[in-house]
Structures are given as C-alpha cells and as structure tokens.
Chains A and B, each alone.
Chain A
C-alpha cells in the first residue's frame, strides 16, 4: 500500500465461531480489514473460508463472536448487511440467469433506492428520476467492467469470465465499503486472471476495501496487502504475502507433513538399497538408451 496514514478498520470480525451440530466449521476467527486494503483469505479445501464469508454476510448466524462494520455490529440478516455496506459475490456464480445484464446490476441498486410499490404504480416525477439515476449508475458500472455493449443480453448467455465480472458489477452497484470476493478467478485462464487482478486493483482505487478468497497463490500474493490462512476452521497465520508464503505451517497445510510413523533414515536407506539391486538391470538398459539418444541429439 502507498500512503495509509491512519488505517481505519472497515470490517472487524472477532471470535467468529460457526458450528453445525458437532462440526465446528469456523473456530474463533479474528480478522480485520482496513479501509483501502486488499486482504486475501487462503486455505485448503474445506478450511471454512466460504462458511466464514457466509457468517460475515449474514447468510449464517455465527454461533459465537461478532462482526462489525465501521464500528457498528452487523445484524445477522443478509439484506441488512448489504445495506450496511458489505457486498459479496459467490463461489459458484449466482446471477439472475433470466434477467438482462443491465437488470442484474439494477437489482444490485436495490438498497440504495427507496421507491416502493405505490410510487411504481403512480409513476410520479420522483420515481422517473430515481429510475433514470439508477440506470445511469448501472451503465457506468457496466462500462467500468467493460460490459456496457452487452447491457441487453440475458446474463445466462454471457461467457463464463463475463459472468464473473457481472457478478462483481452487481455487487458494486450496492455502493459497498467492503467487497467480498469468493474465488473470483476460479476456472479462468491466466489472461483472464490478470484482467481480474487489474479489476480488483481498480475497485480498491475507488476506495472500496476488498476481502478475497482464492486458491490461485500467484494471484493472491500479487494482489493482497495482507493474507490470512485458514486451516480446519482456525486462522493459522496472518501477515504480508512474504510472511505467509514463507510460513512452514501454511506449506504443511497445503502439501501435508510427514505423519508420526513415517519411515526413518535407516528404513529409507534399506528400501533404496533393495530398489537399487532389484532394478539394476532395467536401469542399465535405460541408461544405455538415454546415452544413445543423447548422442543422437548431439550429432
């Protein structure tokens, strides 16, 4: 980050715990996101990242702990969380498939407009003005993500990458102070991932803090000011990209660590010796082959 004089916390989650019966999916996780910050959340599959997201956005009511946005504790209702200023996207894209691209973004404007049934029926000047303003704002967002030329397409007919982008635009339409992205680059090729990276930076530059779940390590370490790693529902480590990248426990969580009954050096040597004698002839043959092929290439 460039010039963060006094970072004010946007999101403060403290001691968030989520239990489903006997299963503790998230265990007393603390996480703070400051304004103007991009925070990454990583962890192996099943670590509880999405469950933690759902706790933050009110889709789940956390068993313990509290989540506050800009100092006020959030009520555990998704629509209230959104109107407070936290917007999200979903891991498996959840667009309104049979609405047009523009309509999808307009739905995102729901909390920032107030027109009810009566004003819709009476169509006063206030209604028209609000509707026109909403449309203008939605088109501006579509321009921002580069989908303005497809405003009238059905969202289900968009290619995959554009659906992901549209979900982000829809979330941004609610004018959030914090955007939660759940695996925004899942299923994307490297170019699309690069484009998403630029998009997230552009969103940050608009003054929106971003909390992003991702499995693409290059993406997350390029992007994030801070990274937190969840393993089995617990926060293992939190810090800058370098710190988390170098942390042995994180590597162990992703790649596994030797179990207790792992073979010692002696056994290893024995096995190697046995293998060496057993495959000696075969390896001789292959050695011969490889040398001939090398000669062949050398000529």
Chain B
C-alpha cells in the first residue's frame, strides 16, 4: 500500500485493480471449496475423519459452507443478476466478513490438526490449499473499496442500504419459510456435533459468528426482521413448526434430551423475563420456583419415593398443582419484599433461593419434616400418560420413530408456545405497560395511578407460576428431582445466575432473546467439554465481552436498542431521566 495520502473510498486496503480483486476472491473461494473435497490429514484420529477424497466431513463441511458463502458474496461484486438481494448495498463489509469466515475455519482446522497430531507433517495438501485459498480470498476482499478509514467500518453495517423490493405476499412467506429452514439446519447441525469433537464445534461457532456477521452487515437481518414484523403470526408459527420438526430429523436420544432441556430452560428464562425484563425487578433466586414446580409435580406423580406415593394426579392436575405451588411461593416471597426498592428485593430473592434448596435438602424426616426425601430427592418418577399416550415409550409417527425425549420435546414445545403467548399478550396490554412504566420510573408510575405493589406482585406471581409450569415437565423428563441443581450459581444449568444471564445476554424484554440466550448458554458448555473446570471462567469472560460491545443483548428490543445506541435526535436533556434516590424523599421532585 503505497499511496495512502489520497485516500478515496474507491481504493481498497490493498492497492489492486478492482477486476483483479474480484477475481482473487472468487479464486480463493473456489480453491477453498475444492480443498474440502481433498484429504486434510492422513489419519482418522482427528475428529470427523478428514482423510477422504471426494466427501467432505466435519470441519470440511463447515469450510465448504464458508467457501460457498464467500463465492456468493464475490459474485455480488460482479452484479450477477439474481444475487442482488444478497448484498443490496453492494457493500464491501459482507464480502470481507464472509472471506474471514473461510480463513477462520480453514486456519483453525489446520492449526488444530497440527496441534492435535503433533506437527505440520500431519497436514495433507488439502489443508494447505484450504489455508492458502481462503487467505487469497481475504486478500482479494481487502482490495475491494474501503468502507471507511477505521477497522470499525469493516465490521459495521453500512447506512445506505436500499429498501427491499416489494415481493408478493406468498413470496415473502416463502422467504420466511426458507430462512426458518436454514435456521433449523444450522441449529440441528450444531446440536448434532459429537460432544467429543470440540474442534468441529469451535469451527462451527467460527462459521456461525462470521457468517451471521456477514449477513448482518449485508442488511439481510434487518430485512428479515421487517418481513417477520409484516407476517408476525406466520413467522411465529413457522418457528414453532421448525422446532416441532426438530425431533423428527434428530433421532439421537441424547440430542433430543438436550433439546428438551433447552426448551425447559428457555421457558423458565421467558418467565424470568417478565420479572426482570419487563418489570425491572432483579430476582436472584428465580430457579427456586422451577424447583417448587418440579417438587410439587414429583410429589403427586405416584413415585414410590414420594411422601404421597399413593397419589397419582393426571398430568393436567399435576401441572396446575405445580403452577399453584409456585404461585403461592411467589406471592409469599413477593408480598413482603415488593414494597421495597430494587436492591432489597435482589437480596431477599437470593436468600429465598438458598432457603428453598437448603430446606428441601433437610426435609428428610430426620433433620426436618419428612417431605422431600432430603438430598436423595424423589426418584423413579413415572412417565407421563396423556389420553393413553405413554411418553416413556417410542412411537412410530409417519414412518419416523419418536423416542421418549422426542415425546417430551413436543410436549415442552407446546408449553413454550403457551408461555410465549402469555408473554406477548401480557406485555402488550394495560398491565404490561404498567410493568414497563414501573421499570422506567416507579414514582412517576404511581403518580399516574398505578398501584405499584399490586402490579409488581402480579408480575412476580405470573413469572413464578410459569417457572413452576416448566418445572412440572422437567421433573418427569429427568426421572427424578433433587435439591442440587436449584442453586444460585453453578456450572450446571439451571441455576439462577444462568437464567439471569440467559435473559440479559439474549435481550431483556424480548421473546426471542431469552430463548436464544438459553440455547447458547446450554449448548456451549455441553459441546465445549474440553473447557472442563474453566467453563465458568469462559462464561464470565463471554458475559463481560458481550456487555461491553452489545449491552442490549444479542436480540435487542427496539426500545433498548435506542437506549444504548442513540441515533440522531441528540437534543435530549439528561435531567429528564429518572433519578432513583433512596431515603426519605420518595419523590425526587
């Protein structure tokens, strides 16, 4: 790069004629794709077995996708007809990021092979071609017109993205369907990665992060969000349909079990989102309500370890029992504490969470009343039977076999759908607005006639009963309940810190956010088992990084997006914002 003085936006970071730059990207992408059909290493010891010619496997598949993505974006720089939608602004950023994804996956694979198998000698020509090819692609991409002078301009979405062309209604629905299908494939691939093949999962993460980033800077996510907003009902039902298809395409029982647990955690996180995200009450002991629901269901399940072993409620009754028990506990905890301001509530709920776990641990008949069977918990919870449908056995549906966890997955999906419905309807109503008003400024809210205590108690009780509902199913899925998992923080979900992190990480006050957050937080430790005792450390680092760069969470609520990244209209007085003064003055006015 010799001529830096006259930086025009036409020139790239690397001085090359544009035609050559485009050709380089395409060449690099094609080389990357071709390399995935070659052997990368000589031995099958490396996870995924990358020794075959002609059939990509493991990391090679991921690199194939990355190469294909780069090639597609390279083609958009030639204005190939029919691909304009992929990069509407003709921006450089998505091309660079797609090429980066190929580099990341290729180089990560090569390095992982060399490290795992002790030396560069383990690399076959295919790996070298992948590494060099992807790098050529990236060099070509960097020679494209600069989006700006700083590094940041390369990774942020350009502002001049033209609005999408009008599609007919069925076309838009088709796009939503296709995107949902892609999401299902991506998710299923991720969940299906062998837990021992951490290398493959890391490659998958690299691809998903850079690939999604490329699509984001191309403006495709915004367009998709617009489509979703236009066809809200359709998009939601497609999402649930895709989730319902999951157990059919994933016939591994362990992975189906992962799916159920993710749904349980996601549902509980949604319930917590009502309390934390909408009403702004910091609840640090929320997992206790899940525990109350699970124990209530276990006690009336007919298990022989239950105190009431003769009693076996039908599922609907057990569900209501679990919800009611959680509701009662929610009101008991909430009534005395919700009159206080935030910090006190956080401490009291933290205490309640621990009290629940310790009490349950001690109610074994020797150090307390005989109710919960102490640390041994209640095991051998029988499987559910609804209308003669036994959830414990396999069923053949349309030529597919649905195993035990697949059955529970579908049941849990129904419950998640119900909770999503409850969340959406409650949020968009008089009561939901009063929750948000209290979160924003409690004094002003009460001055508008909102009975703060009552409204907060409703939010607290609703959140608790939704957690209890999820708990009833989780008791049956896991065969047994015991006090250990219901703690504040720990390496195994669910725990209160985990749930809170899922909500904050995913995006407070949204529906998709906590679901995505819970999925990520559950899946990552499961697949990255090599982290072992450093899991919590990695978790903490990830949280810090995310809160630094995207404080509103992965999926931002429209409100919070504006809150953290002010755009335009900067003539806002800061004194207009609520100041929470503690002490004598109830009104800061």
A: residues with CB less than 8 A from B are 20, 50, 53-54, 57, 59-60, 78-79, 82-83, 87-88, 90-99, 103, 106-111, 113, 115-117, 119-121, 123, 127, 130-131, 134, 154, 156-160, 163, 170-171, 174, 182, 187
Closest 10 CB pairs of A and B: A111-B449, A120-B429, A82-B449, A96-B440, A94-B444, A93-B576, A78-B446, A59-B587, A157-B569, A98-B559
Q: Which residues of B contact A111 (CB under 8 A)?
A: 448-449
Q: Which residues, 410 to 443 on B, are CB-close (under 8 Å) to A?
A: 422, 425-426, 429-434, 436-437, 440-441, 443
Residue contact A174 to B575, C-beta cutoff 8 Å: no
- Is the pair A79, B452 in contact by a Cβ cutoff of 8 Å? yes
From A60, A82, A98, B448 is in contact (CB under 8 Å) with: A82
Q: Which B residues touch A116, using CB under 8 A?
A: 430-431
Which among B462, B575, B584 is the interface contact of A92 at CB below 8 angstroms?
Answer: B575
Are B589 and A91 in contact (CB-based, < 8 A)? yes
Chain B CB within 10 A, most for which of A57, A96, A120: A96
Q: Is the CB of B436 within 8 A of A94?
A: no
Do the beta carbons of A174 and B449 come within 8 Å of each other? yes
Which listed residue, B447, B577, B588, touches A156 by the CB 8 Å rule? B577
- B30-56 CB contact bits vs A (8 Å, 1 = yes)? 000000000000000000000000000
Find out whether the CB atom of B448 lies under 8 angstroms from the CB atom of A108.
Answer: yes
Where the two chains meet, the residues of B that have a C-beta atom closer than 8 Å to any C-beta of A are 422, 425-426, 429-434, 436-437, 440-441, 443-452, 458, 462, 559-560, 562-563, 568-569, 571-573, 575-579, 584, 586-589
- Evaluate contact between A94 and B429: CB separation under 8 angstroms: no
Q: Which residues of A contact B425 (CB under 8 A)?
A: 120-121, 123
Q: Are A154 and B559 in contact (CB under 8 A)?
A: yes
CB distance from A130 to the nearest CB of B (A): 8
Q: Is the CB of A94 within 8 A of B433?
A: no
| A120-B431, A154-B562 known; A107-B571 Cβ under 8 A | no
Q: Could you list 19 A-B pairs, sorted by A, with CB under 8 Å? A: A53-B589, A59-B443, A60-B587, A78-B443, A79-B449, A92-B579, A94-B444, A95-B441, A97-B563, A103-B433, A107-B445, A108-B448, A109-B430, A115-B429, A117-B426, A120-B429, A120-B430, A134-B430, A160-B576
Query: Would you give the shortest CB distance from A256 to chain B, in whole angstroms?
Result: 27
Expressed in whole angstroms, the Cα–Cα distance for A84 and B576 within the complex equals 27
B575 in contact with A82 (CB, 8 Å)? no
* B451: nearest chain-A partner, CB-CB: A79
- A88, A98, A117, A127: the one within 8 Å of B560 (CB): A98
Q: B577 contacts which chain A residues (CB < 8 A)? A: 97, 156
| Docked complex Cα distance between A263 and B31 (Å) | 98
**Cα-based distance from A125 to B413 in the complex (angstroms):** 28
Do A88 and B447 touch across chains, with their CB atoms under 8 A apart? yes
Closest Cβ of chain A to B1, distance in Å, is 41
Do the beta carbons of A107 and B433 come within 8 Å of each other?
Answer: yes
| Contact (Cβ within 8 A) A115 B447 | no
In the complex, how many residue pairs between chain A and chain B have their CB atoms under 8 Å apart? 154
Closest residue on chain B to residue A123 by CB atoms: B425
Cβ contact within 8 Å between B576 and A107? no
Nearest opposing residue in chain A for B428, CB measure:
A120
| B450 contact from A88, A97, A107, A115, Cβ within 8 A | A107
Contact, CB under 8 Å: A156 / B430: no
Name which residue of chain A comes closest to B453, CB basis: A79
Q: Are A95 and B431 in contact (CB under 8 A)?
A: no
The docked-state distance in angstroms from the alpha carbon of A159 to that of B563 is 16
Known interface pairs A97-B440, A99-B440, A116-B430; 6 further A-B residue pairs with C-beta atoms within 8 A, sorted by A's residue number: A50-B589, A59-B443, A88-B447, A98-B560, A108-B449, A111-B448
Q: In the assembled complex, which residues on chain A have CB atoms less than 8 Å from the CB atom of B573?
A: 93, 160, 163, 187
Q: Is the CB of B448 within 8 A of A107?
A: yes
Q: Are B449 and A95 in contact (CB under 8 A)?
A: no
* Nearest opposing residue in chain B for A78, CB measure: B446
Minimum distance in angstroms from A175 CB to a CB of chain B: 10
Contact A110 B429 (CB under 8 A): no
Query: Is B440 touching A98 in the complex (CB atoms < 8 A)?
Result: yes
Q: Which residues of B contact A121 (CB under 8 A)?
A: 422, 425-426
Given A93-B575, A95-B576, A159-B571, A107 and B587 contact (CB-CB distance below 8 Å): no
Residue of B nearest to A93 (CB): B576
Interfacial chain B residues near A50, Cβ < 8 Å: 587, 589
Contacting residues, chain A, for B588 (C-beta < 8 A): 92, 94
CA distance A97 to B280 in the complex (A): 14
Are the C-beta atoms of B432 and A120 separated by less than 8 Å?
A: yes
Within the assembled complex, what's the spacing in Å between the Cα atoms of A154 and B560? 10
From residue A129, how far is it (CB to closest CB) to chain B in Å? Answer: 13
Across the interface, do A90 and B450 meet the contact criterion of CB distance under 8 Å?
no
Using Cβ atoms and an 8 Å threshold, which residues of chain A touch B444?
A: 90, 94-96
Contact between B563 and A98, CB atoms less than 8 A apart:
yes
CA distance A92 to B452 in the complex (A): 21
Residue of A nearest to B573 (CB): A160
Q: How far is the CB of B36 from chain A (nearest CB, A)?
A: 47
